[in-house]
């Protein structure tokens, strides 16, 4: 039986971006999942409602997960773990260590941080198992959450987001729903829910990683298939992965991304992040400029990443 614990502040609002819509020539709405919580803000906490529910059901004492040094998912996992009385262990890719943003919060929550090289990260599952054996020798019970919380269980969080959304606005009035893609769970949950409901609205995922679109197409399809084992009977989901707005590198915004962050903050008083949502939002503006279409953008959060890259933004 799937167990969900209530962690996020829901429902998050849907807002019409009047100024941006007028300037770019299409009707742009935004689902404010940057407002799901404070310290747990963003899309990850919806996934953690199911993943942490399962961890508690299994009697876990310690949570393992992974990501970059400024991972939103790692920060949200550390926060929720402490909130539930569990010990967070974060396996983070080595990089420029800025003691600000998500990493600062990880440290404040007292998370155990294991830094791994990019090469080691390619075999993160093996590293998890090695550390798990050591922890369990000491009497701990380890529960492993994949990067981004992106498996079938985590994707249920975004399946439920669509159920929430349909009670807020006419979902079928949109010609596309757009979100950032970093690990695939969010777009999998959204596309599965739309398919389940019989809606024909396509989902466009803006890839912000070094992996290509083909990789994510296969990963998303697998997550949706696995959701079927949890009782979600989705037909073939309608989604597309776009590679054109990845910028110079993962977690490195282009000058255009930086300008979008500043523009949207000034015009709409909404803060995008430099890793995910700025790239996805820029993609949305460029893909639908002057189209006259009605588009929904899912703001997946990441505000703490702004503080870690303040030098680029101000």
pLDDT in tens, 5-32: 999 999 999 999 999 999 999 999 999 9
Do 117 and 59 sit in the same domain of this protein?
yes
SS (H, E, C) 247-295: CCECCECCHHHHHHHHHHHHHHCCCCCCCCHHHHHHHHHHHHCCCCCEE
The CA distance from 80 to 5, in Å, is 11
Token digits of residue 64? 């393992």
Query: Helix or strand or coil: residue 298?
Result: strand
Do 257 and 298 sit in the same domain of this protein?
yes
pTM (whole model) above 0.95: yes
Residue 235's pLDDT band, with cuts at 50, 70 and 90, is: confident
CATH number at residue 279: 3.40.50.1100
Cα–Cα distances in angstroms (integers) from residue 168 to residues 12, 268, 299, in the given order: 10, 21, 16
pLDDT score of 303: 97
pLDDT score of 96: 86
The CA distance from 126 to 149, in Å, is 18
User: What is the residue-averaged pLDDT of the chain?
Assistant: 97
Domain span at 116: 44-149
Residue 284 backbone phi and psi in degrees, to 5: -60, -45
Do 50 and 122 sit in the same domain of this protein?
yes
Alpha helix segments (H runs only) across 28-184: 44-57, 72-83, 101-108, 118-121, 124-137, 152-165
Active site residue 291: no
- Active-site entry in 41, 66, 71, 278: 71
Domain presence at residue 7: no
Do 135 and 213 sit in the same domain of this protein?
no
Domain presence at residue 56: yes
The CA distance from 126 to 105, in Å, is 27
């Amino acid at each position: 039986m799937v167990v969900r614990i209530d962690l996020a502040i829901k429902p998050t609002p849907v807002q019409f971006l009047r100024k941006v819509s007028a300037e770019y020539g299409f009707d742009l709405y935004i689902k404010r999942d940057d407002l799901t919580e404070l310290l747990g803000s963003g899309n990850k906490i919806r996934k953690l409602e199911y993943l942490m529910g399962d961890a508690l059901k299994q009697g876990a004492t310690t949570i393992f997960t992974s990501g970059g040094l400024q991972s939103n998912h790692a920060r949200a996992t550390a926060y929720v773990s402490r909130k539930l009385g569990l010990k967070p262990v974060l396996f983070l890719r080595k990089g420029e260590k800025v003691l600000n943003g998500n990493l600062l919060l990880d440290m404040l929550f007292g998370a155990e941080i294991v830094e791994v090289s990019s090469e080691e990260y390619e075999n993160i599952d093996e590293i998890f198992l090695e550390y798990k054996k050591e922890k369990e020798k000491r009497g701990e019970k380890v529960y492993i959450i994949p990067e981004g919380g992106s498996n079938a269980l985590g994707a249920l969080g975004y399946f439920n987001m669509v159920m929430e959304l349909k009670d807020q606005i006419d979902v079928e009035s949109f010609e596309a729903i757009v979100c950032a893609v970093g690990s695939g769970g969010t777009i999998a949950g959204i596309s599965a829910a739309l398919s389940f409901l019989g809606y024909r609205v396509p989902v466009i995922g803006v890839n912000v990683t070094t992996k290509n679109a083909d990789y994510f197409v296969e990963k998303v399809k697998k997550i949706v298939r696995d959701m079927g084992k949890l009782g979600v009977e989705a037909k073939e989901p309608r989604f597309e992965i776009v590679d054109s707005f990845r910028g110079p590198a993962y977690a490195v915004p282009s000058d255009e991304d930086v300008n979008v962050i500043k523009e949207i903050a000034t015009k709409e008083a909404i803060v995008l992040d430099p890793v995910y949502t700025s790239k996805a939002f820029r993609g949305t503006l460029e893909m639908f400029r002057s189209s006259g279409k009605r588009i929904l953008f899912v703001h997946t959060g990441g505000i703490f990443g702004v503080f870690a890259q303040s030098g680029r933004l101000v």
